[in-house]
Chains A and B, each alone.
Chain A
Amino acid sequence: MPGLEISFLGIEFPNPFLLASGPPSASGAMVVEAFKAGWGGAALKTISLDPTRPPSPRVHVIRSGKLKWGMLDIELFSDMTVEQWEGEIDRIRDAFPDRPIIASVSGTNTPASWQDLVGRIEPHGVNAFEMNTSCPNFSEGVERGSKLGQDPEMLGLAVSWVRQVTRLPLIVKLTPNVADLRPLVRAALEAGADGFCATNSLSGIGGIDLDDFAPLPSVDGIGMVGGYGGTGLRPVALRCTADIVQTSPAPVFGCGGISKWRDAVEYLAAGASAVQVCTAVMLDGLQIIRRLTRGLDEYLQSRGLNSVTAIIGKGLPDGTREGLLRLYG
């Protein structure tokens, strides 16, 4: 759709709506279907060297009456191996040679765990890497990445490891579960990151089964603190987006609770260059892309704007906005 194109770190997206890393981007076939439906790009479900089997069930939807305003998941990274993913990425590339694919990756506290992964995926034609530093579902300790996004020093180290082995754009997906994002943003930039995604899910408890007192989702009567995403995350991820662009000139993907075109306008005005969507796709299906792009297009037309870049950072103080606009020449 003319006017919806966006350039992000030199990558050309036909529209600013991407699939976020998660269940909707869990296989090559799903991403191909999403691209056919019109999605502007996709961040693949997080690939790691040591895939773990996910628990069942692993999703709980939080609602008030009929409104589903949150999702609590105890999902982990993709359960497919790197070998499998190499084939999946080839499948997407066969069908869509040019649509941007971002490989979400996660390693441990060793350089090899990140570098081997990146080295194997890059030849398959992805456009960028997104480091998942914020998956909140692991047990304590940097061993499995749980604290990476909460510790500027560790984060800088991990970013530098990835930077050493790839020249592709490097995006860091941040966790909102910190007192202040700014030290993390600075550490990532110094270590060579090019852009950010704001944000991964909040750590939360989705609810309690009041019959047996199991946290939800309940795996055989027990449960855990999981990742809270969807609508309710939006005010926090919006604030994080504004925090990041006011700290650095690097472009940001907004991510958290986007289900309507209006939500995307909010992220763009708060400084995001494009947005990523997950929960709304899970609840309502891939076809929501049509109303997202149509709604945004009509909105821009109604305001006499010929490009989505015209609204980026509009809600921010003037200085920040000028810095952002330089990204788009």
Chain B
Amino acid sequence: MVDLSAQVLGLLFPNPFILAAGPTTANAERVLEAFRAGWGGAVLQTVAAGLPDGWPQGSQVIRSGARRWGIVDFNIRSELTPGLMGQEIDRIRDSFPDRPLLVSITADDRAEAWQEMVRELDAHGVDGFEVQAGWSNLVRGGSPAELGQDPEALARTLKWVKQATARLLVVKLSPNVADILPAARAAVEAGAEGFTATSGLSALGGIDSGTLLPLPLQDPAHMVGSYRGPGLKPVALRWTASLAKKLGRPVFGCGGIAEWQDAAEFLALGASAVQVGAAVEWEGVGIIGRLTVGLQEYLGRKGFASPADIIGRALPRLVEFDDLDLNSEIVAVIDETRCTGCDVCIRACSSGAFQAIDRVGEVARVDRLRCDGCGLCIYVCPEGAIRKMPTLAA
């Protein structure tokens, strides 16, 4: 029998799926609805102190046709003061005294702003704080920068927070760096106990083809927002692995998780649990059902007793280029009984690979002498009729 619960940083999550800080954790009502639906925990929406009022706010959902694959946010922070957020925390605690609950925080570069906010929140029953170190639209020293890009400023800030609270301290790191480890190491030294990987990528959400102005604010002075959702996942996976491999502190994986498979990937790369944002905004809190059932069935099928059993399993297989076996020879093989002759693979191979697939009668066929085993055709075949096999077997 699979037990989905996850013990992270001394907190017992009934399952490893946590609501990420954002619009879905704006208030008690939303969080209570999510907890009733079965979410394992929540990080309350970012409470901000000392930031200028009246910053333009907005979100751009990025899609191809009907499919959404990203959101670019501008200043999407809580509208609540620390005091009001404290009341929301009390309301959540009335119904769910034990469900792990963190609150995301940010402020300008002043100790008082951070400490005043933290003390006020600390008076309520929150388990810990998540410092938002990856906002691409904070102003520091006159130009946009992120705490997570400045290890020294991050360490200074965390020390301020530590002085004001004895509760758990987690840092949500920025992906907008050449290397995430300097900021992470500085955070550990300053007292951070765990990480969330990651905040959004610094990005431009698009251009309106009518006005030719940047979306969503239609203002050239405000082009750059924070890009999260599915498109962030490959980068967040990479940084999760990097943190897990080098630091050995608990990591919440965060970025584009919509299915149980996404969560399993983060766990396999070293995350202890995951945070979900965009998928809940788009589909509602009810997705927790398919996430927990899917993960439970997968773990059961593979003979694992709990999510902890797969944490970090992929890390030993994550190597450097020089470790790869460049003599591994494979070729594509088309199952002719499933090929419908649509020629999609022929176009892909001809334009982006080795011109190794031709039409033979009603079906496509691979020229094994030309095929280099790159793998492209396997993904473009709409019938799933192509697989790879070692040349010896072929």
* The stretch of A53-61, A90-98, A155-163 that contacts the partner chain: A53-61
Interface size on B, residues (CB 8 A): 75
Contact for B64 among A67, A213, A235, A282, CB less than 8 A = A67
Contact for A210 among B234, B268, B380, CB less than 8 A = B268
With A236-B202, A281-B351: A56-B373 Cβ-Cβ less than 8 Å = yes
In whole angstroms, how far apart are the Cα atoms of A190 and B370 in the complex? 45
In whole angstroms, how far apart are the Cα atoms of A223 and B324 in the complex? 7
Interface residues of B in 293-352 (CB under 8 A from A): 298, 310, 313-314, 317-326, 328-330, 347-348, 350-352
Q: Does B223 sit within 8 A of A, measured CB to CB?
A: yes
Cβ-defined contact, B235 with A204, below 8 A: yes
With A23-B353, A224-B320: A205-B372 Cβ-Cβ less than 8 Å = no
Contact for B351 among A67, A205, A217, A285, CB less than 8 A = A285
Interface string of A180-224 (1 = CB under 8 A from B): 100000000000000000000011111110101111010111111
With A150-B178, A315-B213: A283-B64 Cβ-Cβ less than 8 Å = no
Cβ-defined contact, B220 with A317, below 8 A: yes
Q: Which residue of B lies closest to A23 (CB)?
A: B352
In whole angstroms, how far apart are the Cα atoms of A233 and B204 in the complex? 11
Q: Does A284 sit within 8 A of B, measured CB to CB?
A: yes
What are 17 A-B pairs with beta-carbon distances under 8 A?
A30-B351, A54-B372, A57-B374, A57-B375, A64-B230, A69-B231, A139-B322, A177-B178, A232-B234, A235-B62, A235-B203, A239-B202, A269-B212, A281-B352, A284-B348, A287-B347, A316-B220
Contact for A228 among B67, B234, B375, CB less than 8 A = B234
Q: Does B379 sit within 8 A of A, measured CB to CB?
A: yes
- With a cutoff of 8 Å between Cβ atoms, the chain B residues found around residue A232 in the complex are 69-70, 230-231, 234
Give residues in B with beta carbon < 8 Å to A: 62, 64-65, 67, 69-70, 72, 146, 149, 176-178, 201-207, 209, 212-214, 220-221, 223-224, 227, 230-231, 233-235, 237-238, 241, 258, 261, 264-265, 268-269, 298, 310, 313-314, 317-326, 328-330, 347-348, 350-353, 355, 372-376, 378-380, 388
Give residues in A with beta carbon < 8 Å to B: 22-24, 29-30, 33-34, 52-70, 72, 74, 76, 137-140, 150, 177-180, 202-208, 210, 212-215, 217, 219-225, 228, 231-233, 235-236, 238-239, 242, 262, 265-266, 269-270, 281-287, 299, 311, 314-318
Cβ-defined contact, A238 with B353, below 8 A: no
Cβ-defined contact, A315 with B220, below 8 A: yes
With A208-B264, A225-B238: A317-B221 Cβ-Cβ less than 8 Å = yes
In whole angstroms, how far apart are the Cα atoms of A235 and B207 in the complex? 10
In whole angstroms, how far apart are the Cα atoms of A207 and B201 in the complex? 18
- With a cutoff of 8 Å between Cβ atoms, the chain A residues found around residue B234 in the complex are 62, 70, 72, 202, 204-207, 228, 232
Cβ-defined contact, B72 with A282, below 8 A: no
- With a cutoff of 8 Å between Cβ atoms, the chain A residues found around residue B310 in the complex are 213
- With a cutoff of 8 Å between Cβ atoms, the chain A residues found around residue B67 in the complex are 64-67, 69
- With a cutoff of 8 Å between Cβ atoms, the chain A residues found around residue B298 in the complex are 210
Q: Which residue of B lies closest to A203 (CB)?
A: B238
- With a cutoff of 8 Å between Cβ atoms, the chain A residues found around residue B261 in the complex are 210
In whole angstroms, how far apart are the Cα atoms of A262 and B69 in the complex? 17
Cβ-defined contact, A235 with B374, below 8 A: no
Q: Which residue of B lies closest to A207 (CB)?
A: B265
- With a cutoff of 8 Å between Cβ atoms, the chain A residues found around residue B268 in the complex are 208, 210, 213
Cβ-defined contact, B178 with A59, below 8 A: no
With A64-B230, A74-B321: A285-B204 Cβ-Cβ less than 8 Å = no
With A64-B230, A284-B347: A224-B209 Cβ-Cβ less than 8 Å = no
Q: How far is the CB of B211 from chain A (nearest CB, A)?
A: 8
- With a cutoff of 8 Å between Cβ atoms, the chain B residues found around residue A213 in the complex are 268, 310, 313-314, 317
The 4 closest A-B pairs by CB, nearest first: A204-B234, A282-B352, A57-B375, A285-B347
Cβ-defined contact, A315 with B238, below 8 A: no
Q: Which residue of B lies closest to A19 (CB)?
A: B351
Cβ-defined contact, A266 with B202, below 8 A: no
Cβ-defined contact, B238 with A205, below 8 A: yes
Contact for B376 among A62, A74, A138, A282, CB less than 8 A = A282
Q: How far is the CB of A224 from chain B (nearest CB, A)?
A: 6
Cβ-defined contact, A223 with B231, below 8 A: no
- With a cutoff of 8 Å between Cβ atoms, the chain A residues found around residue B69 in the complex are 64, 67, 69, 231-232
Cβ-defined contact, B203 with A315, below 8 A: no
- With a cutoff of 8 Å between Cβ atoms, the chain B residues found around residue A284 in the complex are 347-348, 351
- With a cutoff of 8 Å between Cβ atoms, the chain A residues found around residue B372 in the complex are 54, 56
With A56-B375, A58-B375, A270-B204: A314-B237 Cβ-Cβ less than 8 Å = no
- With a cutoff of 8 Å between Cβ atoms, the chain B residues found around residue A203 in the complex are 235, 238
Q: How far is the CB of A12 from chain B (nearest CB, A)?
A: 25
In whole angstroms, how far apart are the Cα atoms of A180 and B176 in the complex? 8
Cβ-defined contact, B320 with A139, below 8 A: yes
Cβ-defined contact, A24 with B351, below 8 A: yes
Cβ-defined contact, B353 with A285, below 8 A: no
- With a cutoff of 8 Å between Cβ atoms, the chain A residues found around residue B146 in the complex are 179
- With a cutoff of 8 Å between Cβ atoms, the chain B residues found around residue A222 in the complex are 317-319, 323-324
In whole angstroms, how far apart are the Cα atoms of A242 and B213 in the complex? 12
Cβ-defined contact, B324 with A235, below 8 A: no
Among the interface residues A53, A76, A180, A315, which one has the most CB atoms of the partner chain B within 10 A? A315
| Known A178-B178, A224-B323, A236-B201; further 20 A-B contacts with Cβ < 8 A | A53-B326, A54-B374, A56-B374, A56-B375, A59-B376, A65-B67, A68-B380, A69-B69, A202-B201, A217-B375, A223-B319, A236-B227, A242-B223, A265-B207, A269-B213, A270-B204, A285-B352, A287-B347, A311-B212, A314-B213
In whole angstroms, how far apart are the Cα atoms of A74 and B318 in the complex? 12
Cβ-defined contact, B64 with A231, below 8 A: yes
Contact for B380 among A217, A224, A236, A283, CB less than 8 A = A283
Cβ-defined contact, B223 with A239, below 8 A: yes
- With a cutoff of 8 Å between Cβ atoms, the chain A residues found around residue B65 in the complex are 67
Cβ-defined contact, A23 with B231, below 8 A: no
In whole angstroms, how far apart are the Cα atoms of A11 and B247 in the complex? 50
Q: Which residue of A lies closest to B72 (CB)?
A: A235
In whole angstroms, how far apart are the Cα atoms of A233 and B207 in the complex? 15
Q: How far is the CB of B291 from chain A (nearest CB, A)?
A: 14
- With a cutoff of 8 Å between Cβ atoms, the chain A residues found around residue B324 in the complex are 55, 74, 219, 222, 224
Cβ-defined contact, A242 with B374, below 8 A: no
Q: Which residue of A lies closest to B329 (CB)?
A: A56
With A30-B351, A222-B319, A232-B230: A208-B269 Cβ-Cβ less than 8 Å = yes
With A223-B317, A235-B70: A56-B330 Cβ-Cβ less than 8 Å = yes
